[in-house]
């Protein structure tokens, strides 16, 4: 059933990151909410966000960490809708600090869905990552667990008062620490590092990710994992588009890094429906009955959605335009 956000109280965890701040801005500007609550750990970023948004009287900044169950319970009181964007996500850092990822990305996820159910939140949409499909690093593994927690949280919401769904997408191109700002910064030295010349990635801009998450928040039933149809790029082509005169230096794949990214695995294909602009991965649970997606066709049984086998590629002028558009968006931490 489609949802209107007008007059709702909406909470965004990780609300000062690149996605979170863009989402908060869009909610205030385009959806006429009663209140938007930013839940994050950094008071300085909260004050900066508040100033950038003109000290909007509908904005509330709530200091806290998703690891803190009691703080979440307090923050979720009176909340109608939650967008869960808080996570630890830097792959090399989390390979070195594995249990910190577990505490935020897994225990934090449980705290979020418990607080949502206990406080009668209507809908929760949680952000995931392509690294959660067939994961090979700790970040992807923790997000896979998180995805499953949120999908099956629908079974814990016994009276059906709270619905949960997950959105999984690719690399956010202009978040801090991502490849475009990295290449821009290193271009002045005339050398760009490339881990492997064959490497490909799915790409999405911050604003596109906000569009997709809010769209699925409005039309979710509860239990779905949504995947947008995204373009792929060869990282070597991306480097050439950003700094065509720079030398490309192959440095080798980092620990936990994939050569190509995957958004839907072959094992998930049997429960994946093609909804034109995106895929819907249905849960394998007794409580799922198809809902409004049952009219959408299932993908072929051998289907696999990966960045190297994609039928949509960013190349030439389209790639240059994509980079220009991404660079025009605000740069911030992606959490």
Q: What are phi and psi of 283, to 5 degrees?
A: -75, 150
**CA 261 – CA 280 distance, rounded (Å):** 18
Question: Helix or strand or coil: residue 140?
Answer: helix
**CA 242 – CA 106 distance, rounded (Å):** 36
Q: Of the listed 8, 45, 131, 143, which one is catalytic?
A: 131
DSSP string, 265-313: -HHHHTTEEE-SSEEEE---STT---GGGTTSPBPPTT--EETTT-S-B
**CA 124 – CA 157 distance, rounded (Å):** 12
- Sequence-separated (6 or more) residues with CB below 8 Å from residue 257: 91, 137, 195
What six digits make up the tokens of 204? 């999405």
**CA 260 – CA 241 distance, rounded (Å):** 20
What six digits make up the tokens of 162? 């709270």
* Catalytic site includes residue 45: no
Instruction: Characterize the bridge pairing of strands 232-234 and 200-204.
Output: antiparallel
Beta bridge partners of 220: none
Q: What are phi and psi of 117, to 5 degrees?
A: -65, -45
Neighbour-count burial for 5-26, b at 16+ CB within 10 Å, e otherwise: beebbbbbbbbbbbbbbbbbbb
Residues 127 and 84 sit within 8 Å (Cβ to Cβ): yes
**CA 20 – CA 332 distance, rounded (Å):** 10
**CA 175 – CA 331 distance, rounded (Å):** 6
Active-site annotation, residues = 131
């Amino acid at each position: 059933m489609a949802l209107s956000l007008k007059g709702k109280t909406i909470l965004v965890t990780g609300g000062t990151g690149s996605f979170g701040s863009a989402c908060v801005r869009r909610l205030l500007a385009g959806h006429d909410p009663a209140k938007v609550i930013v839940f994050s750990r950094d008071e300085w970023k909260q004050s900066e966000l508040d100033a950038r948004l003109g000290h909007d009287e509908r904005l509330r900044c709530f200091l806290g960490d998703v690891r803190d169950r009691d703080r979440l319970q307090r923050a979720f009181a009176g909340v109608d809708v939650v967008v869960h964007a808080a996570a630890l996500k830097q792959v090399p850092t989390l390979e070195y600090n594995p249990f910190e990822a577990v505490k935020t990305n897994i225990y934090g996820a449980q705290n979020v869905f418990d607080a949502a159910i206990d406080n009668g939140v209507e809908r929760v949409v949680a952000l995931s990552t392509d690294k959660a499909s067939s994961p090979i690093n700790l970040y992807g593994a923790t997000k896979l667990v998180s995805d499953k927690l949120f999908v099956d949280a629908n079974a814990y919401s016994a009276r059906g008062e709270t619905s949960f769904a997950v959105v999984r997408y690719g690399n956010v191109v202009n978040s801090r620490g991502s490849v475009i700002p990295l290449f821009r910064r290193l271009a002045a030295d005339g050398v760009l590092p490339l881990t492997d010349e064959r490497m490909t990635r799915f790409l999405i801009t911050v604003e596109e990710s906000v569009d997709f998450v809010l769209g699925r928040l409005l039309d979710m039933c509860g239990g779905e994992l949504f995947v947008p149809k995204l373009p792929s790029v060869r990282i070597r082509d991306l480097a050439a588009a950003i700094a065509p005169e720079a030398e490309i230096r192959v440095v080798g794949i980092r620990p936990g890094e994939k050569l190509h990214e995957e958004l839907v695995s072959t094992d998930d294909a049997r429960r994946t429906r093609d909804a034109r602009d995106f895929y819907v991965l249905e849960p394998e649970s007794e409580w799922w009955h198809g809902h409004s997606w049952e009219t959408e066709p299932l993908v072929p049984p051998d289907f696999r959605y990966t960045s190297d086998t994609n039928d949509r590629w960013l190349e030439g002028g389209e790639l240059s335009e994509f980079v220009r558009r991404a660079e025009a968006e605000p740069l911030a931490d992606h959490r």
